[in-house]
Amino acid sequence: MVRRQKGELEPFGLSRDGSKNFAAPLVKSGVVQTRPFPEGAAGPGLLIDFDFTKPQVKVVPTGRIIQIDVIPGVGPLYIEEFVLGDRPPFTKCARLQA
């Protein structure tokens, strides 16, 4: 199933780059952390690591680690790829269409 975005989905304040609380709720709740990632395909770097077992996480991991950026002086930035899945927050979202 392919979904098309019809507008901004990120909550105001959590998605503004440079915002004081950018990602803070996710970090404080243990949903996301960053850690060194020595085994990356592009070399050692940093992994944005999600705890997909937390109830507030509504996405589904694919198990694949992908590079999303390079941080100068640190190296590649990785994240575990995820898909939206078939949970109500996505299937009932007016801004996502099948």
SS3 string, 65-77, reads EEEEEEECCCEEE
| 54: DSSP letter | S
The domains of the chain are located at 11-97
Predicted pLDDT at 81: 93
Q: Which of 13, 9, 14 is nearest to 32 (CA)?
A: 14
Letter for the amino acid at 38? P
One digit per residue, the tens of pLDDT, for the chain of length 98 reads: 455 555 555 555 455 566 666 677 888 888 999 999 998 889 999 999 999 999 888 888 999 999 999 999 989 999 999 988 787 777 887 777 65
**72 CB-contact burial (10 Å; exposed 0-12 / middle 13-18 / buried 19+):** exposed
